């Protein structure tokens, strides 16, 4: 999609550039916070951003926790961003290029926190969508479960977990599973998230795991084995067919975030306010790609080594 047309079509895309954010997704976290105020807690000191690249959510966290006008307790506040892809530096953010499923990543985060637990964990990660909704929803839920495993090992009791989800036919199963670990589950749809997308965000408030359960991250342990003790799996294996009873579905509260005065991410604005219309121009990216997949192809082309075969 052309840069000029996208600047005019999606105002969140343009506003992200104007305000110095690396991606429009920054407004999703901002609008979630406007509703739930989890980043406005004065006791918020240790934060983890999973699947963080390119870093727009980490930018929001940095600006919220490290207000230039407030210097108190700034040394105690720490933000750790984790992703398999490299990330350009962000003020006040420690970036880790690591796998969120590996125990070494957990150890590195706890070491940075001085073996203290995190107050807030978020994940805006998503797989490369295929267009096959059932497959995309399944892969996304597996990503959430991977993020959740790490979260249960580093999040303090009463903490908050926020993650991107794809709402589908079986999403109530995820709501039910999260309900064993948190006091309140809310499904939220920010106004900056396109209405045509299955994307939403699960906001998990009040981390409260079973007292008898001790999470332990292990690469050789399956998801089912990891969550044993949380009543995630109530299926009893038997060679006899048990009597079937329909279980009550767990439906999370749904909430739209962002005021009605916010821009509609699906709308095309032709008659813009004069303050915006007078400033329409092409903007350069806030942060260029750190390691684009086409980099090697460009180098070969410049050197004359990339030719089209007949």
Question: Assign residue 309 a region: left if phi > 0, alpha if psi is -120 to 50, beta otherwise?
Answer: beta
Residue 37 scores a pLDDT above 70: yes
The b-or-e profile of 100-126 (16+ CB within 10 A means b, else e) is bbeeebbebbbebbeeebbbbbbbbbb
pLDDT at position 171? 84
The answer to whether the bond into 82 is cis (omega within 30° of 0) is: no
pLDDT at 283: 59
In the numeric block, which tokens belong to residue 75? 């040394």
pLDDT in the model for residue 247: 54
Per residue in 251-260, pLDDT (tens digit) is 667 667 776 5
Query: Is the pLDDT score of 176 beyond 80?
Result: yes
Sign of the CA dihedral 148, 231, 175, 160?
A: negative
Angle between helix 26-36 and 56-65 (nearest 10): 40
Phi, psi of 88, rounded to the nearest 5 degrees? -70, 150
Which among 74-78, 84-88, 202-206 has the top mean pLDDT? 202-206
Quick one: pLDDT band at residue 173, thresholds 50, 70, 90?
A: confident
pLDDT exceeds 60 at position 262: yes
Please state, rounded to an integer, the average pLDDT across all residues of the chain: 81
Tens digit of pLDDT for each residue in 203-227?
999 999 998 888 988 888 888 888 8
Closest by alpha carbon to 145, among 287, 50, 240?
50
Which domains are seen in the chain, by residue range?
3-302 (3.40.50.150)
Band (61; pLDDT cuts 50, 70, 90)? very high
- Residue 101 to residue 95: CA distance in whole angstroms: 16
b/e map 77-98, b = 16+ CB within 10 Å: bbbbbbbeeebeebeebebbee
- Please provide the DSSP assignment of 177-221 as one string: HHHTTEEEEEEEEETTS-TTS-EEEEEEEEE---TT------TTS
Q: Is the confidence at residue 110, as pLDDT, over 60? A: yes
Whether the pLDDT of residue 38 is over 60: the answer is: yes
Q: Tokens 């969140």 sit at which residue? A: 12
Top-ranked range on mean pLDDT: pick from 107-116, 238-247, 256-265, 279-288: 107-116
pLDDT of residue 238: 42
Angle between helices 133-154 and 103-112 (to 10 degrees): 50
Query: Which are the catalytic amino acids?
Result: 164
What pLDDT score was predicted for residue 133?
81
Residue 241's pLDDT is what? 45
Threshold 0.75, pTM exceeds:
yes
What confidence category does residue 63 fall into, taking pLDDT thresholds of 50, 70 and 90? very high
Among 14-18, 60-64, 90-94, the least confident range:
14-18
Could you say which DSSP state residue 22 is in?
Answer: S
Q: What is the pLDDT of residue 127?
A: 84
Task: Report long-range pairs for 261-266 (Cβ below 8 Å, ≥24 apart).
Answer: 262/31, 262/191, 262/192, 263/11, 263/12, 263/15, 263/191, 263/192, 264/191, 264/195, 265/10, 265/12, 265/191, 265/192, 265/193, 265/194, 265/195, 266/194, 266/195, 266/196
- Provide the 3-class DSSP secondary structure of residue 257: strand
């Amino acid at each position: 999609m052309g840069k000029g047309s996208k600047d005019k079509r999606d105002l969140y895309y343009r506003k992200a550039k104007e305000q110095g954010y690396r991606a429009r997704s920054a407004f999703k976290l901002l609008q979630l916070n406007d509703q739930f105020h989890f980043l406005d807690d004065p006791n918020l000191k240790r934060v983890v951003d999973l699947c963080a690249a390119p870093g727009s959510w980490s930018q929001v966290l940095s600006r919220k926790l490290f207000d230039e006008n407030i210097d108190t307790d700034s040394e105690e506040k720490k933000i750790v961003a984790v992703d398999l892809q490299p990330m350009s530096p962000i003020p006040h953010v420690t970036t880790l290029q690591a796998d969120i499923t590996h125990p070494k990543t957990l150890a590195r985060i706890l070491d940075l926190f001085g073996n203290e637990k995190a107050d807030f964990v978020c994940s805006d990660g998503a797989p490369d969508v295929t267009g096959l909704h059932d497959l995309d929803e399944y892969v996304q839920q597996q990503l959430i479960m991977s993020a959740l495993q790490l979260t249960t090992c580093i999040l303090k009791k009463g903490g908050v977990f926020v993650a991107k989800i794809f709402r589908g036919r079986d999403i109530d199963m995820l709501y039910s599973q999260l309900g064993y670990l948190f006091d309140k589950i809310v499904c939220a749809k920010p106004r900056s998230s396109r209405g045509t997308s299955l994307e939403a965000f699960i906001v998990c408030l009040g981390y409260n795991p079973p007292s008898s359960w001790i999470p332990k991250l292990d690469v050789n342990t399956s998801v089912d084995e990891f969550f044993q003790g949380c009543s995630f799996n109530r299926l009893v294996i038997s060679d006899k067919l048990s009597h079937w009873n329909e279980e009550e579905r767990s439906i999370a509260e749904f909430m739209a975030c962002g005021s009605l005065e916010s821009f509609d991410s699906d709308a095309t604005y032709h008659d813009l306010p004069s303050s915006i219309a007078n400033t329409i121009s092409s903007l350069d990216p806030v942060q260029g790609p750190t390691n684009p997949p086409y980099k090697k192809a460009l180098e070969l082309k410049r050197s004359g080594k990339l030719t089209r075969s007949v």
